[in-house]
Amino acid sequence: MILETAEFVVTDGPAFEAAVREARPLFQASPGCLGLSLHRVIEDPARYRLLVRWERLEDHTEGFRGSEAFGRWRALVSPFFAAARS
């Protein structure tokens, strides 16, 4: 199993959380995705960590990132980015 971690600083936490909920099926339908969870950083409420579990690295790097679903995911969440993700 591979654990992808992404950190986001956002301008509107509740709207970002709603966008991630809307995008969840995009991940779930992607081959090799074992699940995802979103966590708000308690010390910095504008910061979130997204954890996505994949069966193999290629399921993330070649499968999801190369898919139409990835573009839809970015379109849903990127309007709320305050800073580049890490």
Give the architecture (CATH level 2) of 2-80: 2-Layer Sandwich (3.30)
| Angle at CA of residue 62, ends 60 and 68, nearest 5° | 90
- Given a cut of 60, whether residue 85 has pLDDT beyond it is no
**Which are the contacts of 52, defined by CB distance < 8 A and separation ≥ 6?**
3, 4, 6, 27, 33, 35, 36, 60
Q: What pLDDT, in 10s, does the model give residues 20-72?
A: 999 999 999 999 999 999 999 999 999 999 999 999 999 999 999 999 999 99
Q: pTM for the whole thing?
A: 0.90
